[in-house]
Amino acid sequence: MSETTAQRTSEAGAAPERGPGGRLLSVLVRVREVSVLIVTVGLVIYFQAANPAFLSESNILSLARFAVPYVVIASALCLLLICGELDLSVGQSFAFAPIVMYLAYDKLFLVLPLAVLVGVLAVALVGLVNGVITVYLGVSSLITTLGMFFLLA
């Protein structure tokens, strides 16, 4: 009896034979990241059809120029997420840097390169404080960065 049941189960559970296209489609459906790629390709096709200048060299350079800060921030956040940590203060830090640069340039009368350096160092200090509180004091990165978010707001 158990032998017959095992035989039926193995026969019923066997996947039907598929061609190469069927296997590829099966893999594409199972992998979540591929859906993002498919949506991205679909959006590029749509925008190119709506505006033929979308894939022009000047438009791609313009998009890349404006995307650089967000790509840098997203890359850093991806590294944090891979490590199992979270930074909620990244948006406020991103807004804090130009404010410090402006104050250093306008109120302290520093030259522009030095004002930029002061802004970058101020944001690095924010990151250092977040890191020290999280690593050495053992406070959750969620709590630490949420507190820094409200401190910078």
26: which residues sit within 8 A by CB, 6+ positions away? 18
pLDDT for the residue 137: 97
Residue range 101-129, pLDDT digits in tens: 999 999 999 999 999 999 999 999 999 99
75-100 tens-digit pLDDT: 999 999 999 999 999 999 999 999 99
Q: Read out DSSP for 97-151?
A: HHHHHHHHHHTS---HHHHHHHHHHHHHHHHHHHHHHHHTS---HHHHHHHHHHH
Least Cα distance to 150 among 93, 82, 97, 105 occurs for 93
Of 39, 141, 1, the residue nearest 83 (C-alpha): 141
Confidence at residue 30, expressed as pLDDT on a 0 to 100 scale: 77
C-alpha of 40 from chain center: 15
Is the confidence at residue 8, as pLDDT, over 60?
A: no
C-alpha 110: how far from chain center: 34
Confidence check: pLDDT of 20 > 90: no
Cα–Cα dist 150/152, whole Å: 5
Closest CA to 84 of 24, 21, 142, 18: 142
In this prediction, residue 27 carries a pLDDT of 75
**Smallest Cα–Cα separation from 85: which of 122, 127, 123?**
127
Give the residue carrying structure tokens 């406070």.
139
Q: What is the pLDDT of residue 16?
A: 58
The pLDDT of 36-60, averaged and rounded, is 94
